[in-house]
Amino acid sequence: MNSFEEFFKEQPIRQVSKGEVLVRPGQNSSESFYVVKGCLRSYITDVKGKDHIYQFAPEDWIISDLEFVKNKSGATLSIDAIEDSEVKEIPRDKMYSILDNDPSILQALIQKFQNRVYTLQNRVLQLLSYTAEERYISFMNTYPNLYHRVPLKMVASYLGVTPESLSRVRKELLKTK
Amino acid sequence: MNSFEEFFKEQPIRQVSKGEVLVRPGQNSSESFYVVKGCLRSYITDVKGKDHIYQFAPEDWIISDLEFVKNKSGATLSIDAIEDSEVKEIPRDKMYSILDNDPSILQALIQKFQNRVYTLQNRVLQLLSYTAEERYISFMNTYPNLYHRVPLKMVASYLGVTPESLSRVRKELLKTK
DNA sequence: CGTGGAGTTGAATACGATCAACACCGGTGG
DNA sequence: CCACCGGTGTTGATCGTATTCAACTCCACG
């Protein structure tokens, strides 16, 4: 194997249908998922029962809860499918075997993490400084193939606003455009 | 050299005084800083001139803008000292030389990135789901040595609320405690 | 001393949340 | 094939939390 991606490619395809839950909080068999087709999401459910979406994962994305990193009691995030999907899953222990001694794979992985941190940095800064409207515009620009594909209420959850508010934001944008 | 940290330790110490700016947005000589003493911060300034703090870096922390990763035109974050500090700086090109072929160093770096992503994940989820009060409590618990050390207005900026709001939050907490 | 930044407090405002009603499909079963 | 149903999105009215603007106190520092 000479690349990080190939590790995933080798795995068998698993079919998951819309609404199917792949990871539940507290569960300790944390896995990573490479999405071949469809779309997954990761999210938390707060004390009031409200979901907050951390990440979407359409085709060619990798999604996981990062708890396996911390050796904690179990996952904090939930992961489920928001469309009928095909994924390749990597169990925790297999994930570790990626971290072998091949510097080129390790460097590729570092590159992936750097990109991930950079993306999260932007997300944090936008949550700190953007209004609901600015967040939505930024989301559309950053993920042009995603915003019309996932339900509005999930985009709202990702952006940290209510569906009602986002609906109004969108209405305003249509007027001024 | 047999560890990531040693690379920093070898660098000469640079004295920076409170208020000194180490990195400005647009500047393309991006560096990383290891804080020996004192405290740095990274932040953006929005269109209204308001600061939003991305990160604090007290003793033994590493801070950088991650733009060097993306090979963009320059930094987006600013970095300055909020106390008189001592730092060791690693210029961008030297940073790359860390990414050599020693698997143990690379794996240590991956571990650092995993922790970073995990921390950012929590930050995002808290910004999505916590009230101002919950964020402040979480901040105090997570950084017990920091919240009484940095000015309230900077904590407020980090948490995404105004200094006035945080002042009121703190007042309420004192009453109910 | 005096000066300016930091923090507090008050009053008015604004933005988004909440609650509620309704329209609009898309899928399911009779 | 159509009627029904549940989920999604929209819209309106009201509410609440945090922001804004302003005044004042308190120190730290020159």
Q: How is chain B split into domains, by residue range?
A: 1-98
Contact: B117, A121; criterion CB under 8 Å: no
Contact: B110, A101; criterion CB under 8 Å: no
Task: Choose from A124, A157, A159 for mutation: most chain B CBs within 10 A.
Answer: A124
Q: Which residues of A touch B103 (CB under 8 A)?
A: 100-103, 106
Angle (CA) B162-B79-B70 rounded to 5° is 110
Q: Indicate the SS3 state at residue A49.
A: coil
Angle (CA) B53-B56-B62 rounded to 5° is 125
Contact: B54, A121; criterion CB under 8 Å: yes
The owner of tokens 């405690």 is B177
> Is A51:A44 a contact under the CB 8 Å cutoff?
yes
Q: DSSP label at A41?
A: E
In this complex, is the C-beta atom of B106 within 8 Å of any C-beta atom belonging to chain A? yes
| Higher-confidence position of B28 and A134 | A134
- Ranking A160-174, B4-18, B41-55 by mean pLDDT, the lowest is B4-18
C1' of D28 to CA of B121 (Å): 38
CA A175, CA A167: separation in Å to the nearest integer?
13
Question: What are the percentages of helix, strand and coil residues in chain B, rounded to 5?
Answer: 45, 25, 35
> Is B74:B51 a contact under the CB 8 Å cutoff?
no
Q: DSSP label at A13?
A: P
- The two three-digit tokens of residue B44, written as one number: 């953006």
Q: E strands, A46-163, where?
A: 51-57, 62-64, 78-81, 85-91
> Is A92:B93 a contact under the CB 8 Å cutoff?
no
Question: How far is residue A53 from each of residues A50, A115, A122, A165, B126, measured CA to CA in Å?
Answer: 10, 20, 16, 16, 12
Which band of pLDDT confidence, cut at 50, 70 and 90, is reported for residue B26?
confident
CA dihedral A56, A58, A64, A66 (to 10 degrees): -50
C1' of C23 to CA of A45 (Å): 29
CA B167, CA A152: separation in Å to the nearest integer?
35
Q: Does domain B1-98 have CATH number 3.40.50.10490?
A: no
First-to-last alpha carbon distance for chain A, in angstroms, is: 50
**Which stretch, A153-157, B24-28, B74-78, B99-103, has highest mean pLDDT?**
A153-157
> Which residue has the least CA–C1' distance to nucleotide C16?
A165
CA B5, CA A172: separation in Å to the nearest integer?
51
- How far is B116 from chain A, CA to nearest CA, in Å? 7
Residue pLDDT, tens place only, A136-158: 999 999 999 898 899 999 999 99
pTM over 0.85: yes
Q: How many interface pairs between A and B have CB atoms less than 8 angstroms apart? A: 96
Residue pLDDT, tens place only, B109-162: 888 888 899 899 999 999 999 999 999 999 999 999 898 899 999 999 999 999
In this complex, is the C-beta atom of B68 within 8 Å of any C-beta atom belonging to chain A? no
Q: Which of residues 109-148 of A touch B (CB under 8 A)?
A: 109-110, 113-118, 120-121, 123-125, 127-129
CA B76, CA B56: separation in Å to the nearest integer?
16
Contact: B125, A50; criterion CB under 8 Å: no
Which band of pLDDT confidence, cut at 50, 70 and 90, is reported for residue A74?
low
Instruction: Name the closest residue on chain B to residue A99, using Cα atoms.
Output: B107
C1' of C14 to CA of A165 (Å): 14
DSSP secondary structure, B5-59, as one string: HHHHHTSPPEEE-TT-EEE-TT----EEEEEEES-EEEEEE-TTS-EEEEEEE-T
- How far is B103 from chain A, CA to nearest CA, in Å? 5
Q: What are phi and psi of A85, to 5 degrees?
A: -140, 165
Closest to B69 (Cβ–Cβ): which among A54, A118, A124? A118
Q: What integer pLDDT is reported at residue B94 of this predicted model?
A: 72
C1' of C18 to CA of B107 (Å): 48
Q: Which residues touch B125 (CB under 8 Å, ≥6 apart)?
A: A44, A52, A54
- The two three-digit tokens of residue A164, written as one number: 């009602």
- Does pLDDT of B2 surpass 60? no
C1' of D15 to CA of B105 (Å): 55
Contact: A106, B106; criterion CB under 8 Å: yes
